[in-house]
Amino acid sequence: MKEIILDTETTGLSVKDGHRLVEIGCIELENLIPTKNKFHCYLNPERKVSEKALEVHGYTDEFLSSKKKFKEIAQDFLNFINGKRLIIHNAEFDLSHLNNELKIIGQETLKNEIVDTLQLARDKYPGSPISLDALCKRYRIDNSKRVQHTALIDCDLLSKVYINLIDQKEPTLNFSNESSNDKNQKDNQVLYYKKVIKPSVKEKNNHDQYLRTNLKKNFFN
């Protein structure tokens, strides 16, 4: 399955205040492995960047003034994500800005399947910090390059966070020379390993004793 890790940067928080996109970054995954296919562009938002947004991403009005407008890259962007699931951290924010840009140029809003990693993290770790930085810390992912928020760096980090959130380690290629009669086994098969912890004999005996003592019906006789 092909999926797209997507992130955006903007001139400010809300489209209701007239804020616009200044950057789109996308990294393609195929069966959870990043491919070489990426989409990235800076955008001229046709308005000033707010001070708070400038502190976040560092893109000045002067820098953005020479970049393409959204309408100039819209079709290339839509072609890149067409038919693919979108993986976004705090999807409501990014989608509101993307759909706003599409509405401005008379295009339909996005119909892609969406996975919001913020919601995945909220369900998995209720009450815990679930920002991208917090999740990188939890999963020991190096985010030292994230001095400021930039779309491609955030996409790279989110791809690693996403794999951990769905309980998959990063893919490991099996280059073993062992032969097998299993017709389903292929060379360079991508394997995903989950850690399985088996109980000790003492733990198993304690568990059996608990069941004998506490179950209303004795299933051991």
Distance CA(186)–CA(189), nearest Å, equals: 5
CB atoms near residue 165 (< 10 Å): 21
Q: What is the pLDDT of the chain when averaged over all its residues?
A: 85
pLDDT reported for residue 177: 47
Catalytic residue chosen out of the listed positions 19, 40, 149, 207? 149
The more confident residue out of 38 and 182 is 38
Query: What count of Cα atoms within 13 Å lies in the side-chain half-sphere of residue 109?
Result: 8
195 pLDDT above the threshold of 50: no
Q: What integer is the mean pLDDT of 193-215? A: 63
pLDDT single digits (tens) 155-194: 999 999 999 999 765 544 444 444 444 444 444 333 333 4
Q: Active-site residue 149, yes or no?
A: yes
**pLDDT tier at 145 (50, 70, 90 boundaries)?**
confident
Burial class (CB in 10 A: 0-12, 13-18, 19+), 198: exposed
pLDDT reported for residue 202: 76
pLDDT reported for residue 213: 66
SS3 breakdown of the chain: % helix, strand, coil, rounded to 5? 40, 20, 45
Distance CA(71)–CA(132), nearest Å, equals: 29
Tell me which CATH code domain 2-171 carries: 3.30.420.10
Domain ranges of the chain: 2-171
Q: Which helix (H) or strand (E) holds 126?
A: none
24 pLDDT above the threshold of 60: yes
pLDDT single digits (tens) 39-98: 999 999 999 999 999 999 999 999 999 999 999 999 999 999 999 999 999 999 999 999
